[in-house]
Chains A and B, each alone.
Chain A
Amino acid sequence: MSTAIALAASASTSGRRGYWSGVLKRFSRDPVAVGCTVILLVLILAAIFAPYLDLADPYKGSMIKRLRPVGTEGLPLGTDEQGRDMLARLIYGGRLTLYVGLMPVVFAFFIGAALGVTAGYVGGFVNTVIMRVVDIFFAFPSVLLAIAISGALGAGIVNSLVSLTIVFIPPITRVAESVTSSVRSLDYIDAAKASGGDAFTIVRVHVLGNVLGPVFVYATSLTSVCMILAAGLSFLGIGVKPPEPEWGLMLNTLRTAIYVNPVVAALPGIMIFITSLCLNLLSDGLRSAMNVRD
């Protein structure tokens, strides 16, 4: 399943600004993608500015107010198994969930792109070494690899970030390598070489511009999986540690409450679902706006 991604937009000769304003124009005409961007922005901003939103303390429980249903007076989304306000915990929960769910793809994008461009541009022995190591990591289903590394390292935010980054480096490297290899064989690279450009300059000026777009779009398509996996690690108890509010962890601790208050128990999962759905649709929108085909 070699991901031969071709950049159809490279034909546009109107210069860089023309390309990006075209992308923005196409993107803004896609109501689904714009809607998802708005929802994601709201979630991210709410998470960042949670302390200023006049919410209840997400850590403060109450023995007498446990598992109140949705719509209770003063508790619009009820309380969890320790009597903590669900609305506050869901909004505060976005902080760690989005951070651990998105950052690994960002790290993996830089590391994977660097490895893939190096492998694709230098070729030969370097390519063989990098790509064979990548092949080995592909022998693990992503869920299994994430759980294996997190399980061995133990619970914790940093460990989750490390294991998820390792999971997403190989696929990004593979895509970056395949795009770079196809760009490298184009005539204008030969022309740049003939006019005396050194490898570093050619990569920086001529290769990256054509490679990073498709690799970026591919990376955005991984964010949804990463979100689900990150929350899944916490759900298993090998991600974020209690009592931190985090959607996967909340889903886990509320499992005992499904007989008492099933709606509240399902709420954190709805947040994960909405976020990952928006990430997927946003990625699809970016893909068509940037004219990347795979």
Chain B
Amino acid sequence: MLVYLLRRLLYVCPVAIGVSAICFMLVHVAPGDPLTAIMAVDATAQEQEAMRAAYGLDKPLPTQYVIWLGKAVQGDLGKSIASGRPVAGEVIGAVQNSLVLAFAASLIAFPLGIFLGFLAGYFRDSWIDRAVTTVAIAGVSLPNYWLGIVLVIIFSVTLGWLPAMGAGDGAWMWDFTHLSHIILPAITLSVVPIGIVARTMRALVGEIYSMDFVQALYAKGLHRGDVLRHVVRNAAPTGLSVMGIQLGYLLGGSILIETVFNWPGTGFLLSNAIFQRDLPLLQGTILVLALFFVLVNLTVDVAQAIIDPRIKRS
């Protein structure tokens, strides 16, 4: 077990370094000079050189990368070009809002997806199975940013029940006004994971029920409920890993939904960064999100190893 954990932890390091390298390169594949946004229009060649030196842009790329990485490790992601504030601070505030939204969406998606998937897998080839499969495939095919607009049209514009945008005033709290703001974006965001989780669980549960050991359990005289316990235990590791990946997706993939609902999270921050060509902000936000995704995957793998004894032995 310990060896497995250490191996898995060691494996994270090169991935994290690679992720940081990609984030670093993002700014350098961008067309145009990163300094044009803050440089005076009539700056002389000499002034431009001075500015370049001040931002360290006169050094060779690998050197710039090492300097940037050294600062990033200490929590310094540079300053936003548009607002002049430190990127790290802006990203942390936005990540909190995105986490709240991702958490709310997973509260809807995971129980519902698991329940539907189990139902379809248990009643394989029945009308329940067909209904769940249809819902699941519609869910994964749905452009969720469009669903967001449709929900706004129905529940905000036509019925006037729920607010169409924003996260409510002030810091996030689990009270009525704030919850009423999160309902529509959370539902919108949960549709794709519901489809994916349901499809995976259906295939998994169907496969486990067709295994010999299930027959053996029935032959031993176990009740349906007891057999179900064995099936759940067998399905848990894979189910967990799918949900982990989906959680990462909810956090990193919410940018479109956050734009639709003006939700003040990382997606909102990203689209601002893109349109103001605020490259340090873009770079910092992507780095934090990708590293978070790596961390989620690591946690899922460790949790999987803990509940599945087969992984420990291999």
Cβ proximity bits B111-148 to A, threshold 8 Å, 1 near / 0 not: 00000000000000000000000000110111101110
B interface bracket (residues with beta carbon within 8 Å of A): 35 or more
Interface check B157, CB cutoff 8 A = yes
Asked if B152 is at the interface (CB within 8 A of a chain A CB), the reply is: yes
Inter-chain contacts of A289 with B (CB < 8 A) = none
In the A-B complex, the 6 residue pairs with the closest CB atoms: A269-B146, A136-B18, A141-B252, A144-B252, A143-B253, A151-B274
Distance in Å from the Cβ of B114 to the closest Cβ of chain A?
17
Is A119's CB within 8 Å of the partner chain B? no
Most buried by B among A135, A139, A154, A280: A139
Name which residue of chain B comes closest to A132, CB basis. B14
Asked if B149 and A258 sit within 8 Å, CB to CB, the answer is yes
The reply to whether A266 and B149 contact each other, CB–CB distance below 8 Å, is yes
| Minimum CB distance partner of B156 in chain A | A258
Q: Is B26 an interface residue (CB 8 A)?
A: yes
Rounded to whole angstroms, the CA-CA distance of A236 and B14 in the bound complex is 32
User: B241 at the A/B interface (Cβ < 8 Å)?
Assistant: yes
In angstroms, Cα B151 to Cα A265, docked, is: 12
> Using Cβ atoms and an 8 Å threshold, which residues of chain A touch B256?
143, 232, 235-236
- Which one, B31, B241, B270, B294, contacts A139 given CB within 8 A? B294
Given the known inter-chain contacts A151-B273, A224-B140, please indicate yes or no for A235 contacting B145, CB distance below 8 A.
yes
* Interface: A281 (CB within 8 A): yes
- Please name the residue on chain A nearest to B154 by beta carbon: A262
Cβ distance A167 to chain B, nearest Cβ, rounded Å: 12
**Residue A213, interface by CB 8 Å:** no
Complex Cα gap A153–B23 (Å): 13
Majority SS at the chain A contact face: helix
- List the interface of chain A (C-beta within 8 A of B): 1, 132-133, 135-137, 139-144, 147-149, 151-154, 224, 228, 231-232, 235-238, 248, 251, 255, 258-259, 262, 265-266, 268-270, 272-273, 276-277, 279-281, 284
Give the secondary structure class of B's interface: helix
Contact (Cβ within 8 A) A136 B15: yes
Give the residue name and chain of the A residue nearest to B12 (CB). A139
Over the window 30-41 of chain B, the binary record of Cβ atoms lying under 8 Å from chain A Cβ atoms (1 yes, 0 no) is 110000000000
Which residues of A have CB within 8 Å of B142? 273, 276
Contact A154 B30 (CB under 8 A): yes
Partner of B286, one of A132, A148, A236: A148
CA of A141 to CA of B241, assembled, Å: 15
8 contacts between A and B (CB under 8 A): A141-B252, A143-B249, A152-B27, A152-B29, A152-B279, A269-B143, A273-B143, A280-B137
Closest partner residue, chain A, to B266 (CB atom): A144
- In the complex, which residues of chain B have a beta carbon less than 8 angstroms from the beta carbon of A235? 145, 256, 259
Q: Are A1 and B241 interface neighbours, CB within 8 A?
A: yes
| B26 surroundings in chain A (CB, below 8 A) | 148-149, 152
Given contacts A151-B282, A269-B149, contact A141 B249 (CB under 8 A): yes
